[in-house]
Amino acid sequence: MISDVVDWLSCPHCATALIVEGSPGMRLVCEEGHVFDVARHGYVSLLAGGGAAGTADTAEMVAERAAFLGAGHYDGIAELVAGVAAVAVDGASVAPDESCVLDLGAGTGYYLARVLDAVDQPGIALDISKHAARLAARAHPRIGAVVADAWAGLPVRGRAASVVLNVFAPRNPREMRRVLHPGGRAVVVVPEPDHLRELIEEYGLMAVDDRKPERLREQFADRFTVESEHTCRATLALSATEVAQVVGMGPNAWHERAGEVRSGGAVTVAVRAYVLSPI
């Protein structure tokens, strides 16, 4: 719930602390009097500017993602993420009640929920899509879901997080560094070059350029060092419906092709998790 994480949030307008007021009809109020209503579905929007970025997942994409992840196809990735996050929290030299886990571009909260099962901390699921935030808000009792832009200044207090997660989502190393406790770790998961290879070939989908390990290292080089790397590989046997879900939950340009899927088949899953320690 939002009340589990409010201590770690800050006002997007003036960066002062927020408190929870009211019940029912909860809202967050900052020291300067800025007010943010908690939506009926349990998330709060702390977007500083106007509308959501064009990169926000739509309701349809979020539904495809929820269905696909719910069937357990990416359980191996979740296990890996939860495992490395738990090790990071153990070694974080910060008391569990003095920090939280922050997931940037959290989507439905699938990975964060698995991490919170493994560590006894509250978790912030931050995403620019309100459709994603709505699902994340009920993915785990200790999740507080926040709509915000990961490219902008995050409405999160400095040094708040023992672990910052980033799974297939926009990365903002400067802000990740600011909100991470100095003893904490960032866990960043990116696709390997052959992730979903069969689908990319068959449907002419554009592979995301960040499938190159050196790009990630360059992106973080000023603020983090790579402490360890872990890969997760599998071959999934997917039905036509499941293939359509994976294509449909992908970037916008992929999503539009989901209707063309006619058959299932073997699909390569290949991802790499980086554990980064702050410099």
Ligand X SMILES: C[S@@+](CC[C@H](N)C(=O)[O-])C[C@H]1O[C@@H](n2cnc3c(N)ncnc32)[C@H](O)[C@@H]1O
Give the interface with ligand X as residue ranges (CB under 6 A): 53, 55-57, 65, 105-108, 110-111, 127-129, 132, 149-151, 167-170
CB-count exposure of residue 211 (10 Å: 0-12, 13-18, 19+): middle
Task: Give the residue with the Cβ less far from ligand X, 53 or 63.
Answer: 53
Answer yes or no whether residue 27 interacts with Zn ion by CB under 5 A. Answer: no
Answer yes or no whether residue 34 interacts with Zn ion by CB under 5 A. Answer: yes
- Which amino acid, residue 87? V
Query: 151 is in the binding site of which of ligand X, Zn ion, none (Cβ under 5 to 8 A by kind)?
Result: ligand X
CA geometry: angle 81, 18, 135, nearest 5 deg = 40
Task: Give the residue with the Cβ less far from Zn ion, 9 or 132.
Answer: 9
Residue 38: name the closest of 52, 50, 22 by CA.
Answer: 22
**Structural tokens at position 253:** 């340009």
3-state helix, strand, coil in the chain (%, to 5): 35, 30, 40
Answer yes or no whether residue 11 interacts with Zn ion by CB under 5 A. Answer: yes
Query: 169 is in the binding site of which of Zn ion, ligand X, none (Cβ under 5 to 8 A by kind)?
Result: ligand X
Give the CA distances from residue 64 to residues 59, 98, 132, 198, 243, in Å, rounded to whole numbers and listed in that order. 9, 36, 11, 19, 10
**Omega prior to 170 cis, within 30 of 0:** no
Query: 76 is in the binding site of which of Zn ion, ligand X, none (Cβ under 5 to 8 A by kind)?
Result: none
Answer yes or no whether residue 13 interacts with Zn ion by CB under 5 A. Answer: yes
Query: 56 is in the binding site of which of Zn ion, ligand X, none (Cβ under 5 to 8 A by kind)?
Result: ligand X
Q: Measured from the CB of residue 193, what is the shortest distance to ligand X in angstroms?
A: 17
Task: Give the residue with the Cβ less far from Zn ion, 11 or 101.
Answer: 11
Among 9, 28, 30, 154, which residue sits at the site for Zn ion (rule: CB under 5 A)? Answer: 30
Residue nearest to ligand X (CB): 107
* Residue 104, number of CB atoms within 10 A of its CB: 27
Give the residues lining the site for Zn ion (CB under 5 A): 11, 13-14, 30, 32, 34
